[in-house]
Amino acid sequence: MNDLSDGGGATEAVGGRSSRRPLSPRSARELLQPEQVPPPPVRSRAARHPLVVFFNFFITVAVVAVLIIGGIALYAKVQFDRDGPLTATRVIEVSPGDGVSDISENLQNLGIITNRWVFRAGVTLYGAEGSLQAGEYLIPAQASMREIVDILVSGQAIVYNITIPEGLTSYQIVQRLLADETLTGEIAQIPPEGSLLPDTYRFNRGESRQAIIDRMMRERDRVVADIWSRRVEGLPISTPAELVTLASIVEKETGIADERSRVAAVFINRLRLDMRLQADPTVVYGIWGGQGMPANRIGLTTAEVNRPTEYNTYTIAGLPPGPIANPGRAALEAVANPSRTNDLYFVADGTGGHAFASTLDEHNRNVARYRQIQADAAAAAAARAAEEAARSEEAEAAEDDEASAEEAAD
């Protein structure tokens, strides 16, 4: 063992090995000072390689971007699904040709959605860009953007109706369609008479008028084909076109459902006997065509009844060359399945209906009765007019007397 001086440490050899004892501090200050920290390890050359640095940076940016995009997506989804700002039900219109940009901007301007960009993103995300349909839609209060997209994709737009009464001419039907402002576009030409089926047609705002005409023509063809296939045997008409022509005359002669088949029977019986149909509506059509008798006219004159035209069934035998109006289903059915009667005549009965007869004598009595009803009605109307005129004169005389009395008092 070797002794060292007191000022330093001591090293002993134990079992051939050396052992270092901790040094005792010389003062309390040395005791408070920390031991020396070893330096950090030197980075390897691989960690300092530019590619490694680049990929570390890239991964960091990607993670941050994913977190940002995820946050934006979550925010957008919440906005897309949450209740909208609309406080009351509102009608909106999506015009044909409007894209997602147009629709979203319109919705935001109307206060129906809060953010058009979120709406556009939602439409794109759900693959509905090409599925939004034109039309007029009812948007409920507080509808979310998702609900609005579902409504526009469903195509369940507000439905409008237009009713075309039986017996109108093609010209009159076209005028009705042109007057409806919920329809759009022009009609290429006035369809042939009898080619349209009167009915109630449903459509969405913005549908074209020509589309309604096309539907009416298709429906007419379908209905005529069906009724013609179920006609009774032995009718004196040989084609569906003749069915429509006779049905148009029946339609113009009566608007009473219970009378159609009986009126049809009269004309069927006359055709079988080669009697002229003598139908007043054919006289009207022969003179004024599809526009009809002027509104200021009441009835036909004898000269008009006797005026030869290709439609006047007082002057021609058999059917006219074509329909004089557009008959409805009931008139077509009546001609295809007429009543089984011997009636050859009918005349108005003064109550809105007709009196039928199988002989000329009986018919003449019905005519005389109707003319008497007309005469009585005219006399009653004249009496009422005279009474009203007398009351008006008395009132004027009373006013004059009152005015004279006031002048005398002054």
Rounded to whole angstroms, the Cα distance separating 126 from 237 reads 60
Rounded to whole angstroms, the Cα distance separating 100 from 106 reads 10
User: 124 with 112: CB under 8 angstroms?
Assistant: no
- pLDDT tens-digit map of 30-59: 656 666 666 766 666 665 567 666 666 667
Question: Which pair of tokens denotes residue 260?
Answer: 């159609």
The pLDDT value given to residue 12: 44
Residue 330, classified by CB atoms within 10 Å of its CB into exposed (0-12), middle (13-18) or buried (19+), is middle
Rounded to whole angstroms, the Cα distance separating 249 from 335 reads 10
The pLDDT value given to residue 170: 98
User: 319 with 275: CB under 8 angstroms?
Assistant: no
Of residues 164, 170, 173, the one with CA closest to residue 198? 164
Q: Which residues of the chain have pLDDT under 50?
A: 1-19
Neighbours of 174 (CB within 10 A): 20
Which residue matches tokens 């004892």?
21
The pLDDT value given to residue 54: 64
Q: What is the dihedral of CA 390, 392, 397, 399, to 10 degrees?
A: 160
Q: What is the DSSP letter of 192?
A: P
Q: What residue segments make up the domains of the chain, in order of their start?
A: 90-154, 159-343
User: 135 with 204: CB under 8 angstroms?
Assistant: yes
Question: Which pair of tokens denotes residue 352?
Answer: 């809105």
Segment (H or E) for 99? none
Question: Which pair of tokens denotes residue 275?
Answer: 């009697």
Distances (CA, A) of 290 to 170, 216, 282: 7, 18, 11
Decide: pTM greater than 0.95: no
The pLDDT value given to residue 343: 95
Q: List, in order, residues 6 or more apart from 140 with CB less than 8 Å away.
A: 86, 89, 147
Could you give the 3-state DSSP secondary structure of residue 138?
strand
What is the CA angle 269-274-279, rounded to 5?
70
Of residues 255, 264, 258, 241, the one with CA closest to residue 338? 264
Question: Which pair of tokens denotes residue 237?
Answer: 């008409």
The pLDDT value given to residue 193: 98
The b-or-e profile of 215-225 (16+ CB within 10 A means b, else e) is bbeebbeebbe
The pLDDT value given to residue 332: 98
Q: Which amino acid is at 216?
A: M
Neighbours of 390 (CB within 10 A): 10
- pLDDT tens-digit map of 299-334: 899 999 999 999 999 999 999 999 999 999 999 999
Rounded to whole angstroms, the Cα distance separating 14 from 2 reads 12
Rounded to whole angstroms, the Cα distance separating 141 from 27 reads 84
> Domain 90-154 belongs to what architecture?
2-Layer Sandwich (3.30)
